[in-house]
Every structure is written in structure tokens, then in C-alpha cells.
Amino acid sequence: MNKGDLINQISEDASISKSEATEALNSVLNSIENTLKKDDKVTLIGFGTFSISKRAARIGRNPQTGAEIKIKAKKVIKFKAGKSLSDAVN
């Protein structure tokens, strides 16, 4: 499923126009993005939790040459599925 398919499904399920469904989905995604930018987490009970984790700088290896390379520190987005979602999939 891609974003367009999701918009169509929201439009059908909520009996709203596709433009309203697009606005609603974009609002949700922007809210999640803005919250994560602030190093905060988003918890949707039963669905899951989006959070930020910091990955430290480290030394890696180029697999072709074996030369050492420096890998910069960065923030990584994590998602942990909630119980309801896990149960629904299993």
C-alpha cells in the first residue's frame, strides 16, 4: 500500500472526499515528523510508538577495499509496534 492507496482507503472509510483525506493524512504525518524533530516520541496506544535514537560515531570498513571509514553520528527513527497491531498481524 502506498500513500495514494491509503488516502483512498481513508476517504472510503470516513466517507470524506479524497482532498479532505489527503489533508488529514498530511496533518498526521506532519505532526509525527514535528514531534520527532523535537526529540520527543509519539505513542498511539495499541498501534505503536515512534521514537528517536542516537547512533554514536564509529569506524566501519569499506566492503570492497577493506579500508577503514569514519561513520558520523546520527539520529535514527525507531518504531515499536503496539500489542493490538502485533496481535492483528500474528
- Residues 71 and 33 occupy one common structural domain: no
3-state secondary structure of 30: helix
- Residues 88 and 46 occupy one common structural domain: yes
Q: What pTM, to 2 d.p., does this model score?
A: 0.80
On whether the CB atoms of residues 34 and 71 are closer than 8 A, the answer is no
pLDDT of 90 > 90? The answer is no
- Residues 57 and 86 occupy one common structural domain: yes
pLDDT of amino acid 74: 96
- Residues 74 and 55 occupy one common structural domain: yes
Based on the structure, what is the number of domains in the chain? 2
Query: By percentage, how much of the chain surpasses pLDDT 90?
Result: 99
Q: Where are the alpha helices (DSSP H) in the chain?
A: 3-14, 18-37, 83-89
- Residues 1 and 45 occupy one common structural domain: no
Buried b (16+ CB within 10 A) or exposed e, 6-17: ebeebbeeeeee
Range of the domain at 32: 1-38
- Residues 26 and 57 occupy one common structural domain: no
